[in-house]
Structures are given as C-alpha cells and as structure tokens.
Amino acid sequence: MANKLLEVKDLKQYFGAAGNPIKAVDGISFDIYEGETLGLVGESGCGKSTTGRSIIRLYDITDGEVLFKGRNIHASKSRKELKEFNREMQMIFQDPYASLNPRMTAGEIISEGFDIHGLYKDKKERKERIAELLEAVGLNREHANRYAHEFSGGQRQRIGIARALSLSPSFIIADEPISALDVSIQAQVVNLLKKLQREHKLTYLFIAHDLSMVKYISDRIAVMYRGKIVELGKADEIYENPIHPYTKSLLSAVPLPDPLTERIRKRIPYSHEETDEAGKLHEVLPTHFVYGTESQIKKWL
C-alpha cells in the first residue's frame, strides 16, 4: 500500500466549559494514504466537519496528534513551518456563496495565496498561472476579472476549487463540496475533482452526508457517529457488508432512484447502545474496522 500522508491519532476536539465540554470529536484515529480519497460520512452534528477543521488547524485541538508526512502539525510553531504546511494542505468549503469574498474578483481570490507566499511576483507570470488554474477547473481566462455574484453556484464552487489548487497542495479537505449544488452540477464538480486528483496526484478527505456520492468518489469510507468513528473500511466493503448497527441503519435510509426497490425497502431503525471504556476499533476483517467492545462486535458479527 502507498505511504501514509496523514495520521490522526486519538484526536479530541472539545468545545465549551472545561467542566462539561461538548465532545465534538472524541478520540478518533485514522490514516490517509497518498493518492487516495477517504470519505467521512455521518449526520449533522456527528463531528465530521469539526474533524476536517481540526486537521487543518482551524481549531486548536484538545488532545491527540495529527501527523502530516510524519510531522506533527499542531506542534509546529514557527511561521515558516506553518506556511509550508499551509501550502501542502488546502480546503474546499460547502457554501460557494459564503466562502468567496464578494468584493474580490475571481482572479484576486485565486491569487491571494501567491501574495502570502511570495509566489509569481512577475505580473505576466501570475496572470498566466491564474488563467491556467481557471482552465483546469473548466472556467475560462476571461472569468478572472469577474466578481463572485456574476457566477452560478456550480461556477463559484469551481473558483473555490481553483483557489484550493493555487498553491499546488498535495492534500485537500473537501467539506461537503457539492451539497449546495443541483444534481447535474454535482456530477460536473465530482467529475472535476476526480480528474484533478488523477492529474495532480491529490489526496482527498471528502466530508459529506450524501452516501451515494461518497461511495462513488471514495476509496475508503469512515462512518462517524457522536464524535467517534464507528466503522472504517473500503468503500465497497462498507456498503455491501456493514457491521456496526449505525452504519446499517444509515445505509438503509438512503433512497435509490429505483421505484421497485423503494417500494419494498425497509428502514432499519437504530437505537444507540453505549459503548463503555473498553470500546475500541477492532479489525474484524482485513482493513475493515468496527468500533465497539469485544462482546458487542461478537453480537454484530
């Protein structure tokens, strides 16, 4: 298997008072390998977005470690180290209306990172790079002078992607990048993300609640529930052979564009079962992990 690009070890992210914190992320561990797409799914409030934001240092983590190419992200303190890390890791946000500054042109949005990192100081060179990025995401070079409101939702998301690509990162966190878009536009953006991954050898953490798109784009999937990863494995494996009752319930709730199946589909309800201190991720099958105690796992298998 490929090298580990990112290692998350017992990551905890608590909010609120120290006495009674909200445990948004409660001790999760996983690795992301070079060139793969890891899908992170779960309901709203399960901690999936917080996980993404903690990894990229938008929050100061409560406990645990995040290693990127073997180096602890949250320990690096010097400005130089941080800058270097910021170039390597970028984020695409959910809402293409809120994540673009309305007072900046597309070109300015895309090139903001160049100023910060002192790149492409030559004007012509910079213009060329902006055009190249716009074309890479399926827009054209004339779009550089337009403002965000002049674009449709799908086009805005493309600008967000171009911005994420501008510093040639190796790792991109995509936080619900398609949920605000129409179905046909979603497909355009997903195809684009896949194409860029092939061309630039990118690694993705793809955060979403839409299971069908996650399964399509991901190599492996992690299912989160109440701040914990309850199941982790290859995308097909999770989909065809879910073991944790929460994953089963989640999968049974996804409606398919197939009326005959829909008529006979039965949703599996989930009632939460506390897992005590002894709970951990067990490798029940090769590369397929399930969270629980020994006895719970036995019961679920």
CA angle 103, 105, 109 (to 5 degrees): 95
- Judged by beta carbon, residue 113 or residue 154, the one nearer another protein is 154
Report in angstroms the alpha-carbon separations of 203 from 38, 199, 200, 281. Answer: 8, 11, 9, 24
Is 240 or 277 the residue whose CB approaches another protein more closely? 240
Considering beta carbons, is residue 66 or 178 the nearer one to another protein? 178
Query: Which residues within the stretch 266-285 sit at the binding site for another protein (CB under 8 A)?
Result: 267, 270
Candidates 23-31, 54-62, 196-204, 253-261: pick the segment binding another protein (CB under 8 A): 253-261
Residue with tokens 């020994």: 294
16 binds another protein (CB under 8 A): no
Residue in 145, 168, 255, 299 binding another protein, rule: CB under 8 A: 255
Residue 44 binds another protein (CB under 8 A):
yes
Least Å from the CB of residue 20 to another protein: 19
State the minimum distance, in angstroms, from the CB of residue 172 to another protein.
Answer: 19
Q: How far is the CB of 42 from another protein (least distance, A)?
A: 9
Q: Name which of 33 and 270 has its Cβ closer to another protein.
A: 270
Strand 4-15 and strand 63-68: the pairing is: antiparallel
- Interface residues for another protein in 176-215 (CB under 8 A)? 182-188, 190-191, 194, 209, 211-213, 215
- Name the minimum Å distance from CB 24 to another protein: 17
Residue 73 or 174: the one with the smaller Cβ distance to another protein is 174
Least separation in angstroms between CB 26 and another protein: 19
Residue with tokens 């839409």: 210
Pattern 91-130, another protein, x by CB under 8 A: ----------------------------------------
Scanning residues 150 to 169, which ones bind another protein (CB under 8 A)? Answer: 152-154
Q: Does 140 bind another protein (CB under 8 A)?
A: no
Measured from the CB atom, the residue of 10 and 236 that comes closer to another protein is: 236
Shortest Cβ 187–another protein spacing (Å): 4
- Closest by alpha carbon to 133, among 93, 83, 192? 192
- Count Cα neighbours of 199 within 13 Å in the Cβ-side half-sphere: 11
Smallest gap from residue 185 Cβ to another protein (A): 8
| CB nearer to another protein: pick between 61 and 221 | 221
The footprint of another protein (CB under 8 A) covers: 43-44, 152-154, 182-188, 190-191, 194, 209, 211-213, 215-216, 236, 239, 249-250, 252-262, 264-265, 267, 270
